[in-house]
Amino acid sequence: MDVSAIIERQRALVRGGTTRSRESRVDRLRRLSRALEARESELLEALHADLRKPPHEAYVSEIGFVQSEIRHAIRHLPSWMKRRRRRVPLLAWPGSAFVQPEPYGVGLILGPWNYPAQLLLSPLVGALAAGNCAVLKPSELAPHTAEAVSRLVASTFSPEEVVVVTGGSDVAEELLRHRFDVIFFTGSTRVGRLVMAAAARHGTPVTLELGGKSPCLVCADAPLETTARRIAWGKFLNAGQTCVAPDYVLVDRRVSEGLVEALKRAVRAFYGEDPQQSPDYGRIVNQRHLQRLAALLKDGRIVHGGQVDLEDLYLAPTLIMQARWDTPIMQEEIFGPILPVVEFDRLEEALTLVRERPTPLALYLFTRDAAVQQTVLEQTRSGGVCINDTISQIVARELPFGGLGESGLGAYHGRASFDCFSHRRAVMRRAFWMDSRLRYPPPRISLRSLRKAARFLLGG
């Protein structure tokens, strides 16, 4: 595939104005929606083949998620596309000003393997809504889904609109040598740095959706059964391979034993006594990742789970206690179904532990106390926060989703997706009929008088 030629044809399509009209944008979004509906079974089978995703989980977290993004974008596109008027200072009067969102042009979207359909196609919704064309690179670690998405896109769009390029890391490196108008990457912090460096060579805007160790704080007043169910659901969804999964739990020592027992009950209720036999529990993506996870099990005392089957790519939902902060399990993002539980005596102690670590993508807090909630919001940093639940912050279309620092750069979902693929072009328009000589040299008033007049002339 001649990538340079494809990029130029896509860029020509955008320059020609074909993708800019609301009708064109809606048409392409609807085509994507119809393709997802028509190929739903094929995608579900591919997701099961790659990650053993149960059909209900795969539909909600992958296909249904993207369909929801499409419906939201179509509904709100007229208001998103509107020019936004801005005030004009007296110095530029008579005149008018506005901000006009325009497509960047050709976007490169690099997807990960853990949600290989959603995290490739959800950014595409934003790119199409904003009037762009796109080159998609799915992860080679989810090959069945990569091929299914490739067939879906090829049957829905012309290569000048959207094209999928498959292959390994060498293909991604080759793509990054080309000049795109915007780049969207989801993946590890390590690779995110490489993507950012590649984008910098061309001065290309970039959005990075990374990860990190998302902490989960549980205070003594939290109802333990509900708290445990919500933590277990968020942690063991997709076998823990979720960028916003709770990475570790910080729990008030007074209720730690009760929380651990409630977590065990929740796991048994979800997946039975033997989760390996459950049709509702997924698998690790490959043996290399499973071996990495298995090595982490030695970093604490296993109080539940811990079973590993390398051939079946299975790691049981696992709870670990007494993990030290200097061990790999507490230093690296786990990205698997292992949940360390760490006790604290005072909330200030827990907040210090969170602040000492790189900024996480998500922070979870379980407490009824509004004052504690406000304290945690004021004294921590994270990409997003979810209070008294897990994961649900990413399904609210009106909330931007993104990281901070090592957990990412930029945000998307809903309006934020449109914005991340749009250049907000500032436009000033002036009339000819008035042209004060005060602005031109030589000065006609003293500097003292100018200082007094500046607040009126320049505004602010």
Would you say 191 and 385 are in contact if contact means Cβ atoms under 8 Å apart? no
> 11, 113 in Cβ contact below 8 A?
no
The candidate with the shortest Cα–Cα distance to 135, out of 114, 153, 117, 152, is 153
Q: Are 386 and 392 in contact (CB under 8 A)?
A: yes
Q: List alpha helices for 237-358, DSSP H.
A: 256-271, 287-296, 328-331, 347-355
- Picking from 95, 182, 156, the residue whose alpha carbon sits closest to that of residue 422 is 182
Distance CA 290, CA 189 (A): 20
Is 420 annotated as catalytic? no
Q: Where are the beta strands (DSSP E) in 154-224?
A: 162-164, 182-186, 206-209, 215-218
Question: For residue 248, what are the β-bridge partners?
Answer: 215
CA distance 398 to 390: 17
Given the residues 133, 243, 386, 420, the one annotated as active site: 243
- CA pair distance 387, 360, nearest whole angstrom: 15
147 is catalytic: no
| Distance from C-alpha of 182 to C-alpha of 188, rounded to nearest angstrom | 19
Closest by alpha carbon to 268, among 252, 250, 285, 280? 280
Catalytic position from the list 62, 209, 333, 343: 209
Cβ contact 304:275 at 8 Å: no
Report the C-alpha gap between 382 and 380 in whole angstroms: 7
Would you give the end-to-end CA distance of the chain in angstroms?
53
Q: Which residues are catalytic?
A: 209, 243
